[in-house]
Amino acid sequence: MKRKNLRFYFRIYRKILAQDLKSKMSYRADFIISTIGMICTNIAGFISFWILFRSFPEVNGWSYHEILFLYGFSLVSLTPVQCFFDNNWSLRMYVYSGDFIKYCFRPINLFFYYQSEVFDVKGLGQFAFGIGTIIYSWSKIGLPLTFLMVIKMIIFLITASLIMIAVMNAAAATCFWITNSFYVMDLALKFKDYARYPITIFSPVFRFIFTFVMPIAFIAYYPSLVILRPDEIPLLSWLSPLFGCLFFWLSYKFWMYGAMKYSGTGS
């Protein structure tokens, strides 16, 4: 048996993805309706934003376009969790029915195998929205467009994505203990809405929570400081890629620990 390296997993994922997309086409109505839903959600988000900023031209030293930048940033960084880790939402069903055990019999990584099963195309619409918002606010703020800036942007978008993935993994994995993780996941998803605002508007207690307990400040705020406020970048911003990897790794370990513990007692 050959060793299973990253290339092996990448190839498997590509194949599963291609198959999944093929089969998605067979549910056309579902695809169209959910895409429309996604667009409506985003438009509603924009409108509430716009209304808010008609009354307050700036929030705590942040201008309308800067906050818009944060918003776009958070949309893009939420795309990977939406696209690649959407099966987390079904985890509780598999655990409840006992069907989860079927994932334990394959000679590949359990976490990978489980997540690879679903690719959510809807995330791509959100991605396009987010990119559009970033480009618009970028030009309005008058940020310079250099190679270095783009690289920074990409690195910090990946960081932010990792954090969001970590939060959802951990929230989903709670179902290995409490069976119904929907409310935990829903809570986590609600919290992510706060990620759109500069963390300085919250009280110190919440600032601490959003940084270390529920690290949503890393989803948009800390990473985008690097772009928006190049003169006053806090240490936490530079550390955020590290935190991204760390949180992701921890959530993976937590997920796997739960999975092994669960299959120990389930059905």
Q: Which residues bind another protein (CB under 8 A)?
A: 1-2, 8, 11-12, 15-16, 19-20, 22-24, 26, 98-99, 101-102, 104-109, 117, 263-265, 267
Closest to another protein by CB, 150 or 260? 260
Taking the complex as a whole, how short is the minimal distance between the CB of residue 129 and another protein, in angstroms?
Answer: 27
Taking the complex as a whole, how short is the minimal distance between the CB of residue 173 and another protein, in angstroms?
Answer: 17
| CB-based contacts of 188, cutoff 8 Å, min separation 6 | 167, 168, 170, 171, 214
Closest to another protein by CB, 37 or 98? 98
> CA quadruple 207, 211, 217, 222: dihedral positive or negative?
positive
Closest to another protein by CB, 24 or 152? 24
Taking the complex as a whole, how short is the minimal distance between the CB of residue 7 and another protein, in angstroms?
Answer: 12
Taking the complex as a whole, how short is the minimal distance between the CB of residue 106 and another protein, in angstroms?
Answer: 6
Closest to another protein by CB, 99 or 193? 99
b/e burial code for range 91-126 (CB count within 10 A of at least 16 → b): bbebbeeeebeebeeeeeebbbbbbbebbbbbbebb
Tell me which DSSP letter residue 209 carries. Answer: I
- How far from each other are the two terminal CA atoms of the chain, in whole angstroms? 32
